Amino acid sequence: MGKMEQTNHQKENSAVTRREKDFVGSVMVLGSGIAGMQSALDLANSGYYVYLVERSSAIGGLMSQLDKTFPTNDCAM
């Protein structure tokens, strides 16, 4: 057995350590439409730092351009 090989016990311990570790990181969500904003909220609630990136100066995607929404015909603004 070489120096680089791990025993089964070492492999199990490293797997347990990875599972028990609190996974906190950051993610980038591209697009701030309905799906992008919902994804950003879900990821933030899961413990991630979220960077929401939009190429235009306003958020909301195509939804912000609509006057009425289906099926209730409510105002989208």
Higher-confidence residue of 6 and 75: namely: 75
Q: Tell me what pLDDT residue 28 has.
A: 96
Could you list the residue range(s) of the whole structural domain that residue 45 is in? 23-77
Q: Is the dihedral of CA 34, 51, 47, 25 positive or negative?
A: positive
The secondary structure element, H or E, covering residue 41 is helix 34-45
| Structural domain contains residue 6 | no
| Structural domain contains residue 67 | yes
Question: For the segment 48-74, what is each residue's pLDDT rounded down to a tens digit?
Answer: 999 999 998 888 887 777 777 667 776
| Structural domain contains residue 42 | yes
Q: Which residues are bridge partners to 48 per DSSP?
A: none
| Domains in the chain, number | 1
Question: For the segment 12-42, what is each residue's pLDDT rounded down to a tens digit?
Answer: 555 555 444 555 789 999 999 989 999 999 9
| Structural domain contains residue 62 | yes
